[in-house]
DNA sequence: GTCTATATTCTGATAGAC
DNA sequence: GTCTATCAGAATATAGAC
């Protein structure tokens, strides 16, 4: 009786190559924009020929699909490490700042996640499920501080999206709209009835 | 002494061709996305050969540049026809709805105006000046209802951008975030100290 | 799993005739 | 101002050898 190996070196290597492909794609996307990603350049960067990529991804959009899924997974991972303060308003501000920083730290990623920049790309069901999961966690978090109505969730996402979008468009290297976050969170809390001291007096 | 002609038929025809080119480009952009615009298809649609377009535009990005400028000019034209109510909050809501409707009625246009979808396109000084003009008019309008601080302007643009962005991304054919506008305007007015009755009680 | 070779189509742009 | 001809290159994707 031969013992089964406890590591699958083939699978590990395969996963490593897949990782290299995605990293190269991200590098190109950040440098020249999402639409500038080409199989040719991905291959060139990792010392492969373009057709070899098809052993790992069925198509170029399959690469985008993996990027889409991993972006939303990063949101989940990032937000799940947060140690929230007890006070509701402070917790909301912490959440807002974390998501804002995540979104504004990578324009290409944010475009892939939230804008229809690649017109013929639609996430697969599996990839979309990760985004739905991330949204569900945000909803659970808001429920935890007393926000339950659908319209209030829409309000929250609009406030965040607006600050992020303006930051990208008009002050990509600054903090002009990030500074508005305490104010936006206060406005949100006042509107939906979350009590507590204003976030802008302290400190 | 021969009289000068009071019309320049040559210039008129030239302008008409330029118009045809831009209309074709818009059609493609709306149908398949901004990045799908090609000189080949523009030419095909108006019964020309691709090289002929260079008699009217120096490059493909020059076409985008004209589209950028005319988009911002449309904002100016659109908002300047508005007959605002006297009451400040009502006036702000009218403005917000007009701009929201403008932005959400054409995804490609909004991407060209406000997102960096075409990575190697940067508007010329002349085209950018139109955008600056539009922004100046919005600033003047807000000043007219008592909003003067830079941070308050940033707040206003963030609220609008957020609603527009979420509408595009998550409910492109509906009104889910448009319904939030009265609420958003009320929140804004409360925050910056514009008096008046809530926009959500009446009607 | 990676390669070579290739298919097919498209890209923006220029030269020069008419 | 529009055309033909052409450039020089890039795009995604497939077939089949190794």
- Quick one: pLDDT at residue A202? 53
- Residues B38 and B105 reside in one and the same domain: no
Nearest nucleotide, C1' to the C-alpha of B47?
Answer: D2
Residue B122 located in a structural domain: yes
Given pLDDT bands bounded at 50, 70 and 90, which one contains residue B48?
A: very high
Instruction: Say yes or no to pLDDT of B29 above 80.
Output: yes
Number of Cβ within 10 Å of residue B39's Cβ equals 20
Q: Does A116 touch chain B (CB under 8 A)?
A: yes
For A114-139, the three-class secondary structure string (H helix, E strand, C coil) is HCCCCCCCCCCHHHHHHHHHHHHHHH
Residue A67 located in a structural domain: yes
- Residues A23 and A73 reside in one and the same domain: no
- Quick one: pLDDT at residue A21? 98
CATH number where A70 lies: 1.10.357.10
Please name the residues in contact with A162: beta carbons below 8 A apart, sequence gap of 6 or more: B157, B158, B159, B160, B161, B162, B163, B165
Instruction: Say yes or no to pLDDT of B198 above 80.
Output: yes
Q: How close does chain B come to A153, measured CA to CA in Å? A: 11
Given pLDDT bands bounded at 50, 70 and 90, which one contains residue B203?
A: very low
Residue B3 located in a structural domain: no
Given pLDDT bands bounded at 50, 70 and 90, which one contains residue B2?
A: confident
Segment B9-15 shows an average pLDDT of 95
- Quick one: pLDDT at residue A88? 98
Q: Is the CB of A40 under 7 A from strand C?
A: no
Final residue of a structural domain among A58, A73, A95: A58
Q: Which of B87, B93, B84 is nearest to B186 (CA)?
A: B93
Q: Do B176 and A154 touch (CB under 8 A)?
A: yes
Segment B81-98 shows an average pLDDT of 98
Residue A2 located in a structural domain: no
Total tally of structural domains belonging to chain B = 2
- Residues A74 and A99 reside in one and the same domain: yes
Residue B17 located in a structural domain: yes
Residue A90 located in a structural domain: yes
Please name the residues in contact with B124: beta carbons below 8 A apart, sequence gap of 6 or more: B65
**Which tens digit of pLDDT belongs to each residue from B57-77?**
999 999 999 999 999 999 999
Q: Does B74 touch chain A (CB under 8 A)?
A: no
| Long-range Cβ contact pairs of B169-175 (< 8 A, separation 24 or more) | B169/A114, B169/A115, B169/A116, B169/A161, B172/B107
- Residues A197 and A101 reside in one and the same domain: yes
Give the mean pLDDT of chain B. 96
Rounded distance between C-alpha atoms, residue B158 and residue A184, angstroms: 10
Task: Report the footprint of strand D: residues with C-beta closer than 7 angstroms.
Answer: A 37-41, 50-51, 54, 59-61; B 14, 17, 43, 47-52, 54-56
- Residues A136 and A51 reside in one and the same domain: no
- Residues B19 and B66 reside in one and the same domain: no
Nearest nucleotide, C1' to the C-alpha of A52?
Answer: C2
Using CB atoms within 10 A of its CB, is residue A16 exposed (0-12), middle (13-18) or buried (19+)? exposed
- Residues B34 and B103 reside in one and the same domain: no
CA-based end-to-end distance of chain A: 68
Tokens representing B81 are: 């026809």
- Quick one: pLDDT at residue B128? 98
Final residue of a structural domain among B58, B74, B94: B58
Q: How close does chain B come to A50, measured CA to CA in Å? A: 23
A residues 81-110 lying closer than 8 A (beta carbon) to B? 107
Q: Does B198 touch chain A (CB under 8 A)?
A: no
Q: Is the CB of B51 under 7 A from strand C?
A: yes
**Which tens digit of pLDDT belongs to each residue from B112-150?**
999 999 999 999 999 999 999 999 999 999 999 999 999
Q: Does B33 touch chain A (CB under 8 A)?
A: yes
A residues 36-65 lying closer than 8 A (beta carbon) to B? 36
Residues of B in contact with A161 (CB under 8 A): 161-162, 165-166, 169
- Quick one: pLDDT at residue B134? 98
* Distances, alpha carbon B134 to alpha carbons A160, B64, B110, B187, in Å: 24, 18, 14, 24
- Residues B121 and B145 reside in one and the same domain: yes
Chain A residue with the nearest C-alpha to that of B163: A158
Nearest nucleotide, C1' to the C-alpha of B10?
Answer: D1
- Residues B53 and B72 reside in one and the same domain: no
- Residues B33 and B69 reside in one and the same domain: no
Residue B4 located in a structural domain: no
- Residues B18 and B67 reside in one and the same domain: no
Q: How close does chain B come to A81, measured CA to CA in Å? A: 26
pTM: 0.95
CATH number where A42 lies: 1.10.10.60
Residue A139 located in a structural domain: yes
Q: Which residues of chain A are under the pLDDT cut of 50?
A: 203
Residue B99 belongs to domain spanning:
61-202
- Residues B73 and B42 reside in one and the same domain: no
Segment B174-196 shows an average pLDDT of 98
CA of A185 to C1' of D8 (A): 55
Using CB atoms within 10 A of its CB, is residue A158 exposed (0-12), middle (13-18) or buried (19+)? buried
């Amino acid at each position: 009786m031969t013992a089964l190996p406890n590591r699958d070196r083939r699978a590990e290597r395969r996963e490593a190559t897949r990782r290299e492909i995605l990293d190269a794609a991200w590098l190109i996307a950040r440098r020249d924009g999402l639409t500038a990603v080409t199989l040719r350049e991905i291959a060139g960067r990792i010392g492969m020929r373009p057709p070899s990529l098809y052993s790992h991804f069925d198509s170029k959009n399959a690469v985008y699909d993996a990027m889409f899924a991993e972006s939303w997974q990063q949101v989940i991972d990032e937000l799940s490490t947060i140690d929230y303060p007890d006070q509701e308003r402070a917790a909301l501000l912490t959440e807002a700042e974390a998501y804002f920083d995540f979104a504004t730290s990578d324009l290409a990623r944010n475009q892939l996640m939230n804008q229809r920049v690649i017109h013929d790309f639609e996430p697969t069901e599996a990839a979309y499920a990760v985004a739905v999961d991330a949204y569900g966690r945000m909803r659970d978090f808001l429920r935890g501080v007393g926000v339950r109505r659908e319209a209030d969730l829409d309000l929250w996402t609009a406030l965040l999206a607006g600050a992020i979008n303006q930051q990208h468009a008009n002050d990509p290297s600054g903090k002009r709209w990030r500074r508005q976050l305490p104010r936006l969170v206060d406005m949100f809390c006042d509107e939906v009835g979350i009590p507590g001291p204003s976030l802008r007096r302290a400190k």
